[in-house]
Amino acid sequence: MNSGEWSQVEDYVREKMGREGIAGAAIAVSRRGEIVYEQGFGVRDLETGEPVTPDTIFGIASVTKSFTALAVMQLAEQGKLSIDDPVTAYLPEFALSTLEQPELVRIHHLLSHTTGLAPIQRREDLTRLSDHLAYVAQDHELLGLPGEYFSYCNDTFLLLGLIIERVTGRLFRRHMTAELLDRLEMNRSTFSLEEVARMSNVSVPYVKNADGSGLLKAAWPLLGNYEVGGGIRSNVRDLLTYGQLYTNGGSARGERILSEEWIRRMWQPVHPIVRKTSYGYGLKSTPDYAGAGVTLVEHGGGQPGVSSHFGFVPEEGIAAVVLTNVAHVPARDLWLAAIHRELGLPLDLREQEPEYEAASDELERFIGTYACEEGGRLSVTRASDGLRAELAGEVHPLRASDSRTLVMMSEGMPLPFFWKEGEKAWAVLLGSRMLTRKEEEGIEK
């Protein structure tokens, strides 16, 4: 299984881990339900030096979102709800502050991050899902009408957990454990930190020092209501079992969890993110990935002590998982190396944005400061040789790839901008979160 055929991937992973300061990582890949590769790298605990293995438990963060979406699709297939139902049919108290008709928001919009609510400040102190209804109804920024814009919003996604509770009569965590984790025999996967504390072979979470000089031990985040979109702790072997659902028409370990028709709906495009990639229900997809004629379906996650990535290639029956125990590291790069190995593509291949020569007045339209309540902030400024992005204390050169998109050249990351009125862009999509133009002390930045 772990033959020399994977030596190039292993070299790539070790080099990337050393450069990025990743303490430990686990990788596993399957094809048509059979594990073709699994390996631990580095250590799960810097103090003891205990190694990572394929059974090591990590947080999986927002990879959890596809589990929640899957549970909603189960209820839809059973006729207990419709994804086209208004949220108010199940949560009559639901409201968004400046949306006059809350019944316009459907379960479809919660699943696809298209409610129109901008990212808002996390409230991990809220532990009852019903309490979150009052929080999202407070005075928060709306980007537009439901379905008009895509922007990641954990606080509306977690309302799916409350819908699950009201439809099933069970606590969200209990329903998810009974209907998914237990049925798939994911016996080393749990929402419970108490259970994690009783398990062996568990990773220690780490975050990077502010100056980037090393790693600091972090506590497992308690999450509160955000467990709906980020609360599972698991390992790569269990997650390959989960991945088999998507490559085997909704069945794994002899259990039919969902029909092929319904499970395929989860990665059908709902709203575009960047040039070729769209978000569906708890998953994003890229058709004809790298010109290879296959669909790349994926989702990543990040929390204190967690960087994760999960996904599959349905046409080839490939599923892959990467889990690490360090926050803010490129788990997707490791995941892509494994996927590329199975597809016969160069390990470091990345899809490139086109070149575009923007005129000076076009560049002027991007300049400004953009932010959201959750804390994201991006400033676009002009330098002698072009535009610069200031993000999290770092400066990144920018280039244009069309009249509405800039690219962070150091990361290859596209930044789509949006216009409503006037010459200046009013918003930018940074990764998966929409940031809107801000003015400070009456001066537009």
Q: How far apart are CA 399 and CA 363, in angstroms?
A: 9
Instruction: State yes or no: pLDDT of 76 exceeds 80.
Output: yes
For 180, the token pair is 């998914």
pLDDT at 385 (0 to 100):
87
pLDDT above 70 covers a percentage of the chain that reads: 98
Q: Is the pTM of this model over 0.85?
A: yes
- The mean of the pLDDT values for the chain is 95
Q: Which of 64, 58, 66 is nearest to 323 (CA)?
A: 58
Tell me if 190 sits within 8 A of 184, measured CB to CB.
no
Q: How far apart are CA 279 and CA 114, in angstroms?
A: 10
**pLDDT tens readout for residues 40-58:** 999 999 999 999 999 999 9
Q: Which residue has the tokens 């129109």?
A: 116
Instruction: State yes or no: pLDDT of 182 exceeds 90.
Output: yes
Tell me if 174 sits within 8 A of 151, measured CB to CB.
no
pLDDT at 61 (0 to 100):
98
Q: How far apart are CA 191 and CA 230, in angstroms?
A: 9
Other C-beta atoms within 10 Å of 148: how many? Answer: 12
Helix (H, G, I), strand (E, B) or coil at 288: coil
Q: DSSP letters of 231-261?
A: --EE-HHHHHHHHHHHHTTTEETTEE-S-HH
Local confidence band at 4 (pLDDT 50, 70, 90 cut-offs): low
Instruction: Summarize the confidence of residues 418-430 as an average pLDDT.
Output: 92
pLDDT at 439 (0 to 100):
76
Instruction: Summarize the confidence of residues 105-110 as an average pLDDT.
Output: 98
Sign of CA dihedral 439, 441, 443, 445: negative
Instruction: Summarize the confidence of residues 4-25 as an average pLDDT.
Output: 95
pLDDT at 2 (0 to 100):
45
Q: How far apart are CA 222 and CA 208, in angstroms?
A: 19
Instruction: State yes or no: pLDDT of 441 exceeds 80.
Output: no
Instruction: State yes or no: pLDDT of 122 exceeds 50.
Output: yes
pLDDT at 41 (0 to 100):
98
Instruction: Summarize the confidence of residues 51-70 as an average pLDDT.
Output: 98
Structural domains in the chain, sorted by start: 1-351 (3.40.710.10), 360-444 (2.40.128)
Q: How far apart are CA 29 and CA 271, in angstroms?
A: 28
Q: How far apart are CA 145 and CA 106, in angstroms?
A: 12
Q: How far apart are CA 52 and CA 263, in angstroms?
A: 32
pLDDT at 440 (0 to 100):
56
For 323, the token pair is 């889990």
Q: How far apart are CA 323 and CA 235, in angstroms?
A: 7
Q: Which whole-number Å values give the CA distances from 116 to 47, 146, 306, 402, in the listed order?
A: 45, 5, 28, 25
Instruction: State yes or no: pLDDT of 190 exceeds 70.
Output: yes
Q: Which residue has the tokens 């949306």?
A: 99
pLDDT at 443 (0 to 100):
35
Task: Write the Ramachandran bin of 291: left for phi over 0, alpha for psi from -120 to 50, otherwise beta.
Answer: left
Helix (H, G, I), strand (E, B) or coil at 58: strand
DSSP state of 258: S
Q: Which whole-number Å values give the CA distances from 327 to 64, 254, 302, 303, in the listed order?
A: 16, 35, 6, 6
pLDDT above 90 covers a percentage of the chain that reads: 93
Instruction: Summarize the confidence of residues 162-175 as an average pLDDT.
Output: 98
Pairing relationship of beta strands 34-42 and 24-31 according to DSSP bridges: antiparallel
Q: How far apart are CA 387 and CA 116, in angstroms?
A: 29
DSSP state of 222: -
**pLDDT tens readout for residues 321-350:** 999 999 999 999 999 999 999 999 999 999
Helix (H, G, I), strand (E, B) or coil at 161: helix
Q: Which residue has the tokens 């454990």?
A: 177
**pLDDT tens readout for residues 134-161:** 999 999 999 999 999 999 999 999 999 9
Pairing relationship of beta strands 386-391 and 377-383 according to DSSP bridges: antiparallel
* Lowest-confidence region among 172-176, 200-204, 209-213, 264-268: 209-213
